[in-house]
Amino acid sequence: MLLSILVLAACSRDRGAPTAGSGPLKIRVGSYNVAILGEAKEARVGTMAVMAKIAAGFDLMAMQEVGSNGSTASDEACEKAMKAFVARVDEVAGGDVFSYVRGNQYAFVYRNDRLQVKSSKLYDGPQKFTYPPLVAFFQVLGRPLDFAMLTVHTRPKLAEAEVPEIAAVMDETSVALGEPDVICAGDFNADGSYYAEGPGPGLAGFASGGFLTVIPNDADTTVASASLAYDRMELSSSMAGDYDGSWGVLRPAESFDLAAVEGTGTEPERSAGTERALSDHYPIWAEFTTTSDRD
């Protein structure tokens, strides 16, 4: 069963078709588990200011836990949260340059002067997930590179079953769209007691000949004291020539002043001014060249 594609809830602005060769030479693609982006977090002005700065640093950022961490928030609540968040990101960017597509607890926030969404939908194929991934098809404006992207949040206790299914969904997406280039980024929960990640740099469940693991097994993507690579980015092998080898884990305290970040939880004074008040995860990222489409 191949997945079909239809447009989900979206906020976009048509910039018109740029001339060939006028687009960005590279794009930075990120992913961030935002730890329940809803009314409570939206009310924390200092926290949202830093999170908006984080998003503004990417050309495309996948988000998990929009509204809830289990797809339980209403569609209206999730849409309201995303509109408010993207408005803040635009304030940082200095113009109406960011748009989004979303479904359930997921969203893609992207620069509409650099990327165009051809289509998007929630995955409805045969692979089983607690929270079905969001799939979108992107074109870099003014450049030949296009690619499909998925974002996913596995259920921790089911990660052993759900993580290998991601590889199958990436393959299905490639066939359905007729597009070899596929990225999947999100909170895989692919480490610790939840998932046996394997001994090497590549993530278990993704064949080395068919996929490229960007965020290696020894990365640390959470604010916990233990080193855990829960957040991941996997590429189809066809993207090896587009990926420029640059990747990272963004630690907000190293890049932003967190003094005004409000605390959270039952003892907010203990987390105020800390990375934990933003999220229990760090954003991850990788960079891609756009001047050719090497699939």
DSSP string, the chain: -PPP----EEE-----PPPTT-S-SEEEEEEEEEEEESHHHHT-HHHHHHHHHHHHT-SEEEEEEES-SSS-S-HHHHHHHHHHHHHHHHHHHTSS-EEEEEETTEEEEEETTTEEEEEEEE--SSS--SSPPEEEEEEETTSS-EEEEEEEE--GGGHHHHHHHHHHHHHHHHHHHT---EEEEEE---STTT----SSSSPTTS-TTTEEESS-TT---BSSSS----EEEEEEGGGTTTEEEEEEE--HHHHS--TTPPP-SS-HHHHTTSGGGT-SB--EEEEEE-S----
Q: Is the model's pLDDT at 16 over the cut of 80? A: no
The pLDDT value given to residue 3: 46
pTM value is: 0.94
pLDDT in tens, 52-106: 999 999 999 999 999 998 888 899 999 999 999 999 999 999 999 999 999 999 9
In a domain, 12, yes or no: no
In a domain, 11, yes or no: no
pLDDT in tens, 268-281: 889 999 999 999 99
Using pLDDT thresholds of 50, 70 and 90, give the confidence band for residue 9. low
In a domain, 294, yes or no: no
Q: Which domain holds residue 59?
A: 23-289
The pLDDT value given to residue 13: 63
Q: What total of structural domains would you count in the chain? A: 1
Q: Mean pLDDT for the chain?
A: 93
In a domain, 56, yes or no: yes
In a domain, 149, yes or no: yes
Q: Is the model's pLDDT at 262 over the cut of 60? A: yes
In a domain, 6, yes or no: no
- Region 2-14: mean pLDDT is 56
CATH number at residue 226: 3.60.10.10
Q: Is the model's pLDDT at 111 over the cut of 50? A: yes
In a domain, 87, yes or no: yes
- Region 133-144: mean pLDDT is 98
pLDDT in tens, 147-205: 999 999 999 999 999 999 999 999 999 999 999 999 999 999 999 999 999 988 899 99
